[in-house]
Chains A and B, each alone.
Chain A
Amino acid sequence: GAVVSQHPSWVICKSGTSVKIECRSLDFQATTMFWYRQFPKQSLMLMATSNEGSKATYEQGVEKDKFLINHASLTLSTLTVTSAHPEDSSFYICSARGRGLYEQYFGPGTRLTVT
């Protein structure tokens, strides 16, 4: 149980375009989803926390107009990187947490490359 999927697993886009990444909890209802960014050889950096049906809470320094997060249902959250630039290239990972639980279960990650 507790499986989280992400789509796509990797994406290459041109500078100035937007990219949407999906995160789904496959076998449980995720009341809270989290989006992280990870640079090579570094730990995970939390970008934002989203609760189903509510606006996401962004961490300090994360531009909410650039990284649009939607948590429309208990099994789906999306991250849209708008007007992507090469510096947005990174490994983006989502995680999900079920109601009343403390554990976060992570998706497999999405490698974004902006050219």
Chain B
Amino acid sequence: GQQLNQSPQSMFIQEGEDVSMNCTSSSIFNTWLWYKQEPGEGPVLLIALYKAGELTSNGRLTAQFGITRKDSFLNISASIPSDVGIYFCAGQAQGGSEKLVFGKGTKLTVNP
């Protein structure tokens, strides 16, 4: 089946630092979504990407849909303690399937 490789698995950073994480796939995706999940909560949609090459920002977050349609990255600038959580990438494949394929997540820890 389709798989997304998300890296890094975890990050420990100081407040104020920038963060970058990415997802790669062996197959092409039509849509890339980035979610953040906090303990005991459901994932919250951060950014949605629909076109190859698309670069979208949401506050301090920026994400890009790779030109090859097989990868995406998420950057967080000037991290703050409330950025702590697990970030998941998710892709919707070509072919019209409604299912999302999820990465395994990047656990972010921000030290104040």
Contact = CB atoms under 8 A, between A and B. Distances in A.
Interface residues of A, number: 23
Contacts of A105: 45
A67 interface: no
Given A102-B31, A107-B42, A46 B92 contact: no
B57 to A, nearest CB: 17
Contacts, number: 51
A106 B44 contact: yes
A66 B85 CA distance: 32
A111 interface: yes
B98 A97 contact: yes
Interface residues of B, number: 22
B45 A103 contact: yes
Contacts of A113: none
B98 A108 contact: no
Contacts of A6: 42
B99 A43 contact: no
A103 B43 CA distance: 12
23 contacts: A4-B42, A6-B42, A34-B98, A34-B100, A43-B102, A44-B43, A44-B88, A44-B102, A46-B99, A93-B43, A95-B42, A102-B30, A102-B48, A103-B33, A103-B48, A104-B33, A104-B45, A104-B100, A106-B35, A106-B44, A106-B45, A107-B42, A109-B40
Contacts of B40: 91, 109, 111
A75 interface: no
Contacts of B43: 44, 93, 106
Contacts of A25: none
Contacts of B31: 102
